[in-house]
DNA sequence: CGGTGATAGGTAAACGTTTACTTAACGGAC
DNA sequence: GTCCGTTAAGTAAACGTTTACCTATCACCG
């Protein structure tokens, strides 16, 4: 059973008493060639009987198109990425493409390996959800002429097609929401990545404060790496400090996942003792009591849009439009986790 | 920029003033051929300067080995599968293989498409986490001589290599735990799939009851499709019926994800009014208050074991051992969600 | 009856590798 | 001086498709 030889076009042609050329034309829908119905049927049934499956290797070698696009994902376990991937698959399936998903573990080295592998595989396109320091990898893809769209997180200082969540707006509107309800001392936990995404959320937070004439206090802001554990840790530190803050924004849902149990166990009542808001809408959100005020992140939309852009480029690379950049805003959803201060 | 021609071995050979054959030998680590150090260096630097990347298409066409394995996953959003995939990637990376992950949406048609695509791509191996009715797809892979290991869920009535969670044991030990604490009226919500997995969990539940001399009541058991929404629905129905049950087992964590918020909103106190236990250990478990008694599902271990089995077969298909089947047990973790009835 | 356009299908040259086969030079053993 | 083993590297035949190019028959027109 192992190492069985694959059925080839030649086998099919022989069984149908014709040439490989004709067999190939027939099995590709018979364009550009006249074939009698009889021969056509003969080829088709031969293929069926032999369980012929075209080799994408040989086909891709000649025909340039592989029928595969790839998505690189920093963290499989993060719903935002899985939602994004899901909607990419939706679009890809419409075009008859296979999607391969690859985990980069938010690790530049891993990402490099994955990207090298994708180049080797000569995939038709890549949707890159970058980890930190993805510039090199992005450039490599570009140099190889592999169509690439960057999604969800930006790559620093590069010219490219991208689709991003509007991070500025998300942080801005949530901060604004708290300010309007009388909060002025607002803690903000966010991601420490050295990229635009971070700056945007932070900028949104600051912009809202500024508009309301509230001073920005660096000691209220924590920048931490992207793990649940860190969310737990900084929340514990926050409690120990007995900060004057009346409100807390988890700038990444993943920090809330670690932090909220800490608050609960410490007996902090939400929103009586502390108002809490989150950027992001993970699956466990409906499990929270009280319901958390949050901004949804439109990952599915980002995925759909990124895939559309990618296929526009792949299928029609001649009239190459200039760089396209899209920002998709989230939506503020009000829960019961924010107290109104008079 | 689009449609750029790839750098080929021929380009490298020309730049190094040698033949493609020699270039190929050098870039493959130079086995089976004598090459002077000078020429070797010359080829290597030519490859570097031209940014040569071997085409996995051409290479796979000739050399039989692609360096790619695939994992088919029913639901991306389910942590159990993402954990499994993660550990598969770990093993694959050790062997220098790329892992492509494909979502089947728990839909037989999609799965068929994905599997066809994988066969077209001539992947070296597949770890199949089956959806319902995967027999045909499994058989197709087998017929094509593609090494396949089934993981996490079994395929009905087939002879194959598999690695499964010990579902019988999981349900048995959890039911037993409740019985030992005096519960006799125990509701059990489980998956309605027509496959062995279901029967196993159900069997475990029944076996435990029987051992304790408690009659099995069909009206306590609900078999439902695998969605959060269904968990919500059956929990609501359960509450409306004002069942005599003192305990409830969510036979799939995903049902608990829908059901527990229902209990909370209805003011049901856990464990005072109702004891609750879950099979599975999703990410949101630590968020629950009180801590839920549950059985962990060893997905990571399943993934590792499945990948090991796969590579054993791929790398050493000559001495083909007989079918291998592995069951991996979970662990019961006690929380505060089960009340002791004297 | 020769020319032409439509119909039908075979031949063979790519695509980029890998690898079996060949050639060639050199040094030593007989 | 011939033979052989070692070192070094080129030639060309696969691998399984796609597709450009050719050939052949037929029908119809002038």
Mean pLDDT, all residues of chain B: 89
In order, the DSSP letters of A156-181 are TT----EEEE-HHHHHHHHHHHHHHT
pLDDT recorded at residue A1: 37
Rg of chain B in Å (alpha carbons): 26
pLDDT recorded at residue B1: 36
DSSP state of A188: E
Token representation of residue B252: 């799939």
> Is residue B258 domain-resident?
yes
DSSP state of B93: H
Q: Strand B275-279 relative to strand B293-295: parallel, antiparallel, unpaired?
A: parallel
> Is residue B184 domain-resident?
yes
Mean pLDDT, all residues of chain A: 89
**CATH code for position B35:** 1.10.260
CB-closest option in A122, A284, A288 to B55: A122
Q: Shortest CA distance to B46 belongs to which of B17, B74, B72, B81?
A: B17
Q: Strand A147-151 relative to strand A125-128: parallel, antiparallel, unpaired?
A: parallel
What string of H, E and C letters represents the secondary structure of A120-151?
HHCCCEEEECCCCCCHHHHHHHHHCCCEEEEE
User: How distant is the Cα of A212 from the closest Cα of chain B, in angstroms?
Assistant: 34
What's the whole-model pTM score? 0.83
In order, the DSSP letters of B151-170 are ESSPPTT----EEEE-HHHH
Residue A193 or residue B57, greater confidence: B57
Q: Strand A325-328 relative to strand A162-165: parallel, antiparallel, unpaired?
A: parallel
Compute the distance between CA of residue A222 and CA of residue A234 in angstroms, rounded to an integer: 8
Chain B contact for A313 (CB, 8 A cutoff): yes
Task: Specify whether B181 is located in the same domain as B160.
Answer: no
Compute the distance between CA of residue B202 and CA of residue B98 in angstroms, rounded to an integer: 37
CB atoms within 10 A of CB B209: 21
Task: Specify whether B161 is located in the same domain as B307.
Answer: yes
CB of B2 nearer than 7 A to strand C: no
Task: Specify whether B153 is located in the same domain as B265.
Answer: no
> Quick one: average pLDDT of A144-148?
90
Whether the Cβ atoms of residue A254 and residue A226 lie closer than 8 Å to each other: yes
Task: Specify whether A204 is located in the same domain as A243.
Answer: yes
Number of domains in chain A: 3
> Is residue B340 domain-resident?
no
> Is residue A60 domain-resident?
no
Task: Specify whether A49 is located in the same domain as A72.
Answer: no
Interchain CB distance below 8 Å, B1 and A142: yes
Token representation of residue A118: 């994708």
Report residue B92 CA to chain centroid gap.
15
Whether residue A327 has pLDDT greater than 80: yes
Helix (H), strand (E) at residue B277: strand B275-279
Cα–Cα distance list, B312 to A2, B96, B155, B202, B305 (Å) = 12, 14, 21, 33, 11
Burial class, A217, CB count within 10 angstroms (exposed 0-12 / middle 13-18 / buried 19+): middle
Burial class, A196, CB count within 10 angstroms (exposed 0-12 / middle 13-18 / buried 19+): middle
> Quick one: average pLDDT of B285-290?
80
Whether the Cβ atoms of residue B212 and residue B177 lie closer than 8 Å to each other: no
Interchain CB distance below 8 Å, B54 and A317: no
CA of A48 to C1' of D27 (A): 36
Interchain CB distance below 8 Å, B79 and A82: no
**CATH code for position A124:** 3.40.50.2300
Q: Which residues of A touch B142 (CB under 8 A)?
A: 1
In order, the DSSP letters of B202-237 are HHHHHHHHHHTTPPP-GGGEEEE-S-HHHHHHHHHH
**Order of strands, sheet of A125-128, starting from the edge strand that comes earlier in the sequence:** A325-328, A162-165, A147-151, A125-128, A68-73, A98-103, B98-103, B68-73, B125-128, B147-151, B162-165, B325-328
Residue B3 pLDDT level (bands cut at 50, 70, 90): very low
Whether the Cβ atoms of residue B156 and residue B194 lie closer than 8 Å to each other: yes
Residue A199 pLDDT level (bands cut at 50, 70, 90): confident
> Quick one: average pLDDT of A172-185?
96
Q: Strand B68-73 relative to strand B147-151: parallel, antiparallel, unpaired?
A: unpaired
CA of A34 to C1' of C12 (A): 20
Task: Specify whether B154 is located in the same domain as B178.
Answer: no
The protein residue nearest nucleotide C7, judged by CA to C1', is A34
Task: Specify whether A132 is located in the same domain as A247.
Answer: no
Compute the distance between CA of residue A280 and CA of residue A156 in angstroms, rounded to an integer: 23
Cα–Cα distance list, A40 to A11, A26, A45, A296 (Å) = 15, 6, 9, 53
Report how many helices (DSSP H) and strands (DSSP E) chain B contains, helices first.
Answer: 12, 12
Q: Which residues of B touch A142 (CB under 8 A)?
A: 1
pLDDT tens profile B22-61: 999 999 887 778 889 899 999 999 999 999 999 999 999 8
Compute the distance between CA of residue B26 and CA of residue B41 in angstroms, rounded to an integer: 9
> Is residue B247 domain-resident?
yes
Whether the Cβ atoms of residue B78 and residue B254 lie closer than 8 Å to each other: yes
Helix (H), strand (E) at residue A103: strand A98-103
Task: Specify whether A189 is located in the same domain as A289.
Answer: yes
Cα–Cα distance list, B202 to B135, B146, B175, B193, B339 (Å) = 22, 33, 10, 12, 23
pLDDT recorded at residue B196: 62
User: In a 3-state reduction of DSSP, which class is residue A115?
Assistant: helix
Residue A317 pLDDT level (bands cut at 50, 70, 90): low
> What letters, b where the CB count within 10 A reaches 16 and e where it falls short, cover A147-161?
bbbbbbbbbbeeebb
> Is residue A1 domain-resident?
no
C-alpha angle B117-B120-B123 in degrees, rounded to nearest 5 = 90
Task: Specify whether B204 is located in the same domain as B259.
Answer: yes
Compute the distance between CA of residue A17 and CA of residue A52 in angstroms, rounded to an integer: 16
Q: Shortest CA distance to B143 belongs to which of A6, A44, A45?
A: A6
Q: Shortest CA distance to B204 belongs to which of B154, B158, B236, B165?
A: B165
Whether the Cβ atoms of residue B278 and residue B293 lie closer than 8 Å to each other: yes
pLDDT recorded at residue B2: 40
> Is residue B4 domain-resident?
no
Chain B contact for A62 (CB, 8 A cutoff): no
> Quick one: average pLDDT of A276-282?
94
Task: Specify whether A119 is located in the same domain as A214.
Answer: no
CB atoms within 10 A of CB A21: 11
Compute the distance between CA of residue B151 and CA of residue B300 in angstroms, rounded to an integer: 11
Whether the Cβ atoms of residue B122 and residue B66 lie closer than 8 Å to each other: yes
Task: Specify whether B197 is located in the same domain as B289.
Answer: yes
Residue A156 pLDDT level (bands cut at 50, 70, 90): low
Compute the distance between CA of residue A237 and CA of residue A317 in angstroms, rounded to an integer: 53
Rg of chain A in Å (alpha carbons): 26
Residue in chain A lying closest to B259 (CA): A287
Interchain CB distance below 8 Å, A103 and B85: yes
- Give residues 206 to 225 of A whose Cβ lies within 8 Å of B: none
> Quick one: average pLDDT of A24-50?
90
pLDDT tens profile A54-68: 999 999 988 767 889
Compute the distance between CA of residue B326 and CA of residue B185 in angstroms, rounded to an integer: 33
Range of the domain at B222: 167-297
Whether the Cβ atoms of residue A263 and residue A330 lie closer than 8 Å to each other: no
Task: Specify whether B101 is located in the same domain as B218.
Answer: no
> Is residue B18 domain-resident?
yes
Whether residue B148 has pLDDT greater than 50: yes
* Lowest model confidence (mean pLDDT) among A183-197, B191-205, B279-293: B191-205
Residue B39 or residue A79, greater confidence: B39
């Amino acid at each position: 059973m192992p190492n069985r030889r694959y059925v080839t076009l030649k086998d099919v042609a022989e069984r149908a008493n014709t040439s490989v050329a004709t067999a190939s034309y027939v099995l590709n829908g018979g364009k550009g060639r006249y074939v009698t119905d009889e021969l056509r049927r003969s080829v088709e049934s031969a293929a069926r009987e032999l369980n012929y499956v075209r080799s994408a290797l040989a086909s891709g070698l000649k025909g340039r198109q592989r029928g595969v696009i790839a998505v690189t994902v920093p963290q499989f376990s993060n719903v935002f990425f899985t939602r994004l991937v899901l909607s990419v698959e939706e679009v890809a399936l419409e075009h008859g493409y296979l999607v391969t998903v690859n985990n980069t573990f938010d690790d530049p080295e891993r990402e490099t390996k994955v990207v090298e592998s994708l180049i080797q595989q000569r995939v038709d396109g890549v949707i890159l959800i970058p980890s930190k320091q993805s510039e090199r990898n992005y450039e490599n893809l570009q140099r190889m002429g592999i169509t690439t769209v960057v999604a969800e997180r930006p790559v620093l200082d590069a010219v490219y097609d991208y689709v991003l969540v509007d991070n500025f707006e998300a942080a801005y509107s949530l901060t604004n929401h708290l300010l309007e309800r009388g909060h002025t001392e607002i803690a903000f936990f966010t991601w420490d990545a050295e990229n635009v995404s971070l700056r945007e959320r932070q900028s949104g937070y600051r912009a809202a404060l500024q508009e309301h004439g509230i001073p920005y206090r660096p000691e209220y802001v924590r920048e931490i790496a992207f793990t649940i554990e860190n969310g737990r840790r900084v929340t514990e530190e926050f409690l120990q400090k007995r900060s004057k803050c009346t409100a807390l924004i988890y700038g990444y849902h993943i920090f809330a996942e670690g932090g909220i149990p800490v608050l609960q166990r410490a007996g902090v009542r939400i929103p009586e003792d502390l108002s809490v808001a989150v950027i992001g809408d993970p699956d466990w959100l409906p499990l929270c009591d009280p319901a958390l005020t949050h901004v949804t992140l439109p990952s599915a939309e980002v995925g759909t849009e990124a895939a559309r852009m990618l296929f526009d480029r792949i299928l029609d690379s001649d009239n190459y439009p200039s760089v396209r950049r899209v920002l998709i805003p989230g939506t503020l959803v009000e829960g019961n986790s924010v107290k109104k201060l008079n």
